[in-house]
Amino acid sequence: MILFAAAVEKSASLYGEDAVSHATEQILSRFDRFLSRRNDQNDPQRGLLVFAEGRFDKRAKIWVREFRQLGTRWGVLRNLSDIPYFASVKETRLLQLADFVAHSVFLLYERRDPTFIAKFIHRFDQRDGTIHGLRHFRTETAVGLCECPACYNWNHPGRYGPWLGLAATGQD
């Protein structure tokens, strides 16, 4: 299983629905590029988007349409199915899994608790030791280097950095 997630720090200029939209755009773009790589390896697949029903599902339909029309800032989405689907978390085990991954990312970034994510950090999409499936967006006022796994790995391919601790991953 390959995972994708985005952690967005809310700020005065990025919050609420915009923050959710930004994270969604990031994940779709990365998922699309993952499918492109599969395509290059003669494994053509279409990506299916399944959103959890709830607070954002009406908006999500509009975002997805916009993403498809305009492409993302980094390229056009080419490998996704035309229509996003919506399902109840209660009845969909994959959405429950996605919920768990999201909660694990939240615990890492909000409470610096790597207990869960340390067990599956290697499942985020990566190539040649560089993680593409996990992104961290800091506020524009953030100072200093971030040593979260996503930021740290960018400068140190193959490594996850100090947030996860040595015991959790067997490497730094």
The letter for the amino acid at 100 is F
Is residue 87 involved in binding Zn ion (CB under 5 A)? no
3-state secondary structure 49-79: CEEECCCCHHHHHHHHHHHHHHCECCECCCC
Is residue 164 involved in binding Zn ion (CB under 5 A)? no
Whichever of 67 and 163 has its CB closer to Zn ion, that residue is 163
Count of residues binding Zn ion (CB under 5 A)? 4
Is residue 151 involved in binding Zn ion (CB under 5 A)? yes
Mark residues 108-147: x for contact with Zn ion by CB under 5 A, - for none.
----------------------------x---------x-
Phi-psi region of 77 (alpha: psi -120 to 50; beta: other; left: phi over 0): beta
Helix (H, G, I), strand (E, B) or coil at 27: helix
Compute the least distance from the CB of residue 102 to Zn ion, in Å: 17
Compute the least distance from the CB of residue 116 to Zn ion, in Å: 18
Q: Which of 77, 118, 148, 164 binds Zn ion (CB under 5 A)?
A: 148
Cβ neighbour number for residue 10 with a 10 Å cutoff: 12
Compute the least distance from the CB of residue 6 to Zn ion, in Å: 11
Alpha carbon distance 112, 73 (integer Å): 30
- Under the rule (CB under 5 A), what is the footprint of Zn ion? 136, 146, 148, 151
